A = this chain, B = another copy of it.
Amino acid sequence: MSMICHRCDQRAVIRLWQHRLQLCSEHYIEWFIKYTAQTIERYHMLNQGERIIVAVSGGKDSLAIWDVLQRLGYSADGLYINLGISKDGDYSHHSLQHAQAFACQHNLSLQVVDLIDQYGAGIPELSSRRHRSQKPCSTCGLVKRHIMNEAAQKGDYDALVTGHNLDDEVSVLFSNTLSWDMEMISRQSPVLPAGLGFTRKLKPLCRFSERETTAYALVNGIQYIEEECPFAEGASMLYYKGILNQMEEQQRGLKLRFYSDFLKVRKMGQLPSHNYKDATGGDVTLCPQCGQPTSSGNLCSFCRLMNTP
């Protein structure tokens, strides 16, 4: 098996089965950036000149997309949310260090929201307010969505970018399909348009596997937090990722096809599609406490959580 780069005579560092390509470090970086630009164009994600805020966790995916966006010439600031997770060692502290180091090296602006400082409690405590024994992942999702949108709205950004990769997207789609949750299925998209107080949300890495984003971070020497969140162990999304990887081993390209075909079929109108623009807004009001949009009719879920003793 020859492992020479398909674009030069250097040793290839990665084989991209679905693209029938094997590339050296330099050409892999070039290809990764170009393919991200194609994804941005394909889903009409961004226009040049728009101001972006990237949700940065200190992990490989969010640092990779921040890196690519600035290389593509976009004006992209970072947002780090310190979740106050410190079960084994100090997870949140380490991830913040990586985010700050990256920002500093690339002369990028990073806004930090600290849950404990600003709201008096981190994810573990907030989660135990809602339910005693369950995993904190749903609380964490709720808190992050709120803070990300608030920061994007307050900073008047045109778009909010997250580092979700293909494996993230596919595991969520797989889970929602197994339960035929059509509401969640209708909302899953590489782009959620702006509207009703929500900033446009983008996932430009949605067509790269975790292996591919990891490789991008590695060949660029990006330092990122390698530990999984301590709460991820036993989480259903990790379980589904395992199942999907097992099937991918058997049928190369299955994950990307599952995701792309889903988007195609929905575009053709054969699956329900959520669209903020079409929404009448009748059931969305502004939370009297924080001013963020909510469909609860009164306080939003985030403020209700913060008000819970």
Q: Name A residues whose Cβ lies closer than 8 Å to a Cβ of B.
A: 177-180, 182, 239, 243, 246-247, 250, 254, 257-258, 261-262, 264-265, 270-272
Contact = CB atoms under 8 A, between A and B. Distances in A.
A169 to B, nearest CB: 14
B254 A250 contact: no
Contact of A254 (B178, B182, B254, B265): B178
Contact of A272 (B179, B247, B261, B270): B270
A139 B214 CA distance: 43
A180 B243 contact: no
Identical subunits present: 2
> Is chain A's interface secondary structure helix, strand, loop, or mixed overall?
helix
A270 B179 CA distance: 14
A243 B179 CA distance: 16
A183 to B, nearest CB: 9
Contacts of A272: 270
22 contacts: A177-B177, A178-B247, A178-B254, A178-B257, A178-B258, A179-B257, A179-B258, A179-B261, A180-B258, A180-B261, A180-B262, A180-B264, A180-B265, A182-B265, A182-B270, A182-B271, A239-B250, A243-B243, A243-B246, A243-B247, A270-B272, A271-B271
